[in-house]
A and B are shown apart, each in its own frame.
Chain A
Amino acid sequence: MAKTKIKEAGNLFVSDIPHYDEGYNKEGNTIVRLVSNRRNKKPYQVTGIQDVAADNNWKAWIYLAPILVLIVVFLIYPLVNTIFISFLKDYNYVTGQSEGFTFENFGIVLGITPYNGVYETDFVEYAIPNTFILVFLTVPLTTLIALLISVALNSIKWFKNALQIVFFLPYVTNMIAVGMVFAVIFNTNGIINYLFDLGEKAWISGATRSVAFVPLITYIVWMGLPFKILIFLSGLQGIDKQYYQAAQIDSAPHSKVLWRITVPLMSPQILYILITSFIGAFKQYAAIVGLFNGPGTVGTKKNMYTIVYYIYDNLNTHTSFAAAAAVFLFAIILIFTAVQFQASKRRVHY
């Protein structure tokens, strides 16, 4: 039925161009198309259709223009400018003036050169060690816990979806808000002290630096789990079941299956998670603000400083120092990422 209709339509219009049928014509390299027969339009031919992907298209730059302007103004220029400022002495962002070039900023920030006769110690004493402690404790801990939870989640049958949602919940929360909740949980009269019968132990305000790391790391791990679990689960679902069946026939123990099959096959996901979370962990800031409401636990001491906290704290007052600290952070992250890529070359199986 449909066929005859097309034929009728064909008779109606294509008769004008007798040796062309509807559709693609090889000889003429043309496409002939029939138009609706309601309005008595003339049939038209479209020739020489070209894919825009076929040649150099200047229009692409119109589509790219807005993003390029934004990238140059808010990404490339600031990057260069920050490096520049880190070499300026006492840069004042309001007037845009400085007292010439210097390499001192890095020395001052790292506590090697004195500034106005005083050595700056907060950065070396607190910011760098704290940042590294957080990086090397939270990243492996979170990755391991997330891996175990996702392997367990992948192996169960009932409540799988519900549990998956529960484990994703920390992601859709406000970093500051939940930090405040953790502060209440770890309060001197809080539930942790009550449950473990610790009296009025200070975890947050008035706590020593090492004690204050307990709630901080708990919070960062809690916050970091959902994203990793999600990525690991999607990786686990892609593993061929045959590996596990083979392992079962060989009656390999569960731990061996996990470390010899699951982990190597998940290595691309693990690498992705490690790289993104190492970069993220170097930039801890909001967790500390949420939990401690400031850079320290005792008085005006800045014992909870991280590198990023230092940058934000000095942005207005000592812009040059903040810039130097930012360049320092950038260099560390670059080195770290490069090392990880190198190390992963042998260990990751694609």
Chain B
Amino acid sequence: MEQVKYNNFENESFNDDIVLSIGEKARTVEAIQRASNIRQVIGTVITYVLILFAALIVIFPFYWMIITSLKLNDEIQGSQQTFFPNIVMWTNYVYVFQTFDFTNYMINTIVVGIFSTIGTILTTIAAAFAFARLKFKGKDALFAIFLMTMMIPGEMMVISNYITVASFGWIGEGQTRVDAYLAMVMPFLVSVFYIYLLRQNFKQIPNELYLAAKVDGKSDWTFLWKVMVPLAAPTIITIVILKFMGTWNAYVWPNLITDTPEFRLISNGLRGSSFVDLQNRTQYGYQMAATVLVTVPLFLLFIFFRKYIMRGFGRAGIKG
């Protein structure tokens, strides 16, 4: 914000100008200026104090998760809470890797994540292209129906999808790994929101490029993959990341459709495993070490693709 300037009118001549002056009683220009400066400094300090306090609260659970994952269980349960572990227990992580079937859950999550991401991207690109570039009867009506489906809560679909997937033989007795993967991937390939996002992006690509491609004798299909997709790459990367994050966080559906923990995803593994010792006491150190392992990959993804993740959302909200 620009600072308002107060002129010392005594030193200036007003021969040519008409000046409107507002009198402030018993205060010199310097005093007003000083007061305004002081107010601004105080305001800035208060803002920083408040915002740093809020930031501290936001970041505290992460700090506490990491710290607890490195503590001995007696220290966690003790009456004296410590903000740094007395003995750093790296062995908590070793234990988690040995007993908690981390690699299996990880592989399941990655396989499901990759297939559902590829499937979503392919169908989304094709649909967005049709809506953005081609003309056909009933296009606007169809797009309106698509947008309306965004309002339907997913819980409406879960019940029937469960039945559908069961009738395909993907769940129940004798479920194989492939069945479980199919059941986890197929119902979630549709995302109208991503189609909307990509369509908006495709629409911005100028018509001239399309005509130029036509002059070169390229087909619509080639144009889509050689011109439109590369130009919309940032949006597509955003979709890929969001989709993958979605799989990483999926909990309800994998839990519903699998009978054995073997086929489940990372969130199910985390909540489903019991981190207890021989006396049946929860070992929070192990539990938190496992949560760190689940959280870290997402953090790495965020650090590397921050720009795409944050922009993808920022864009969604620009037009209310």
Contact = CB atoms under 8 A, between A and B. Distances in A.
Interface of A: 31, 33, 46, 49, 51-61, 63-64, 66-67, 70-71, 73-79, 81-82, 85, 93-94, 96, 145, 149, 152-153, 155-156, 163, 165-178, 180-182, 184-185, 187, 189-191, 194-195, 222, 225, 227, 230-231, 233-235, 238, 241, 244-245, 248-249, 254, 267-273, 279, 282-283, 285-286, 289-290, 293, 308, 311-312, 315, 319, 322-323, 326-327, 329-330, 333-334, 337, 348, 350
Contact of A245 (B1, B55, B190): B1
A74 B190 contact: yes
B252 A74 contact: no
Per CB-CB distance, the 7 closest pairs between chain A and chain B, nearest first, are A268-B320, A78-B160, A231-B317, A63-B130, A60-B136, A60-B134, A194-B81
B62 interface: yes
A285 B207 CA distance: 46
Given A79-B152, A279-B151, 8 more contacts: A49-B211, A53-B134, A64-B126, A66-B123, A169-B302, A174-B270, A230-B317, A283-B155
A267 B195 CA distance: 26
Contacts of B58: 166-167, 169-170, 222, 225
B95 interface: no
B291 A227 contact: no
B223 to A, nearest CB: 9
12 contacts: A56-B135, A63-B127, A63-B130, A66-B122, A75-B157, A82-B157, A172-B309, A181-B65, A235-B318, A308-B155, A315-B256, A348-B320
A311 B291 contact: no
A249 B22 CA distance: 12
Interface stretch (B9-17, B46-54, B86-94): B46-54
Contact of A181 (B2, B61, B152): B61
Contact of B299 (A33, A166, A172): A172
B320 A222 contact: no
B153 A283 contact: yes
Interface string B215-259: 101001000000000000000000000000100110110001000
A188 B57 CA distance: 20
Interface in B267-320: 267, 270-271, 284, 287-288, 291, 294-295, 298-299, 301-302, 306, 309-310, 313-320
Contact of B1 (A171, A174, A180, A248): A248
Contacts of A46: 214-215, 217
Main secondary structure of the interface of A (DSSP, over half): helix
Interface stretch (B72-80, B96-104, B174-182): B72-80
Contact of A54 (B135, B288, B317): B135
Contacts of A52: 133-135, 210, 220
Nearest to B291: A177
Contacts of A172: 245, 298-299, 301-302, 309
Contacts of A271: 320
Tell which of B127, B162, B187, B319 has the most Cβ of chain A within 10 Å.
Answer: B127
A326 to B, nearest CB: 5
B44 interface: yes
Given A74-B157, A230-B314, A330-B152, A174 B298 contact: yes
Contacts of A85: 159-160
B126 A63 contact: yes
B271 A289 contact: yes
Interface string B189-216: 1100001000000000001001100110
B156 interface: yes
Given A56-B137, A194-B81, A348-B320, A333 B4 contact: no
B166 interface: yes
A78 B287 contact: no
Contacts of A245: 1-2
B29 interface: no
Nearest to B152: A79
A70 B2 CA distance: 55
A55 B155 contact: no
Contacts of B211: 49, 51
Contacts of B267: 174-177
Contacts of B220: 52, 59
Given A74-B164, A272-B317, A330-B152, A49 B214 contact: yes
A58 B136 contact: yes
Contact of B130 (A64, A167, A283): A64
B147 to A, nearest CB: 12
A152 B129 CA distance: 40
B271 A189 contact: no
Contacts of A225: 58
B139 interface: yes
Nearest to A49: B214
A165 B2 CA distance: 27
Contact of A311 (B149, B159, B217): B159
A184 B287 CA distance: 10
Nearest to A337: B151
Contacts of B249: 174-176, 286
B59 interface: yes
Contacts of A227: 313
B319 A268 contact: yes
Contacts of B284: 184, 187
